[in-house]
Homo-oligomer: A and B are copies of this chain.
Amino acid sequence: MVSTIKVYEKPVLQDPVLIEGLPGIGFVANIVALHLIQELKAKLFAEVRLSSFQDIAITANDGKVLFPTNEFYYYKGRNEEEQDLIILYGNTQALTTVGQYELCGRALDLAKEYGCRLVITLGGFRQDKKASVPPRLYCAASDYATLKEALVLGAEIIEGQIFGVAGLLIGLCKLWNMRGFCLLGETQGFYPDASAAHEVLHALRQMLHLNVDMSRLETAVEATREILRSFGIQSQPPEEKTNEPSYRWHV
């Protein structure tokens, strides 16, 4: 098995947007995705395991076994303005480059099956200096038309490299006939970075006309912090910047 996908439900979606929210810099994407899932009551409909995830199981203190996984949730817009969503959420990215491509290929295959034409990837954009208040937004896009939509949100053009699934999905989506768009919040990379997540969520809400309450964002931040803690990863004070853990978990 290179990868195995388990489909729990086959929703009927209209022109859904794929939102990527896997663990990464500052856990920005992870927080935003979790918040969207909780607030929109998005529903799990598929799950994917890759042979390039770690071969491990971790027991939470309630005895249940956790394991590396990526999940797909869907949300059907409640009115004409809101778009249907597919949210990619998980506790890990793939451990190898080959695995990252496999993961992105799987996600794009699945999204295409449901009629997706736009991919939005989220993340933190690491800056060495202290983040602005509020943190600045950065964007990049697969084409100029899409880029313009992002610039309207007040985001600046990224100059640099976008690592991992956030960059790869944007790079690959053209081959699936999709447009891609990457939205990153300025961060020093401390995790979980609530401020950067707030800014990214705010812009995403505007862009997709989503009616999402932001007041409970701290719940998702705390849940992410709790997950990290239960796996022995401490949240960091702003004073000591360290590297991200190369591998990340959630409940």
Contact = CB atoms under 8 A, between A and B. Distances in A.
Interface of A: 1, 4, 6, 47, 49-59, 61-69, 95, 97-98, 100-102, 104-106, 139-144, 147, 151, 157-168, 170-172, 174-175, 180, 182
B1 A160 contact: no
Contact of A174 (B6, B61, B68, B162): B6
Given A141-B65, A171-B57, A175-B6, A1 B102 contact: yes
Contacts of A174: 6
A144 B6 CA distance: 21
Nearest to A164: B55
A63 B147 contact: yes
A1 B166 CA distance: 17
A167 B4 contact: no
Nearest to A171: B67
Nearest to A67: B171
B65 A167 contact: yes
Contact of A61 (B68, B157, B164): B157
A181 B79 CA distance: 44
B51 A162 contact: no
A167 B67 contact: yes
A234 B63 CA distance: 35
Contacts of A144: 63-64
A80 to B, nearest CB: 30
Given A59-B158, A65-B140, A47 B163 contact: no
A162 B97 contact: no
Given A1-B104, A55-B101, 17 more contacts: A1-B105, A6-B174, A51-B105, A56-B161, A56-B162, A57-B140, A58-B161, A59-B157, A59-B160, A63-B139, A63-B140, A64-B140, A64-B142, A65-B180, A65-B182, A66-B171, A68-B171
Contacts of A97: 51-55, 95
A175 B151 CA distance: 41
Contacts of A54: 97
Contact of A141 (B63, B157, B171): B63
A47 B62 CA distance: 37
A65 B106 CA distance: 21
A171 B104 CA distance: 22
Contacts of A139: 63
A93 to B, nearest CB: 9
B102 A159 contact: no
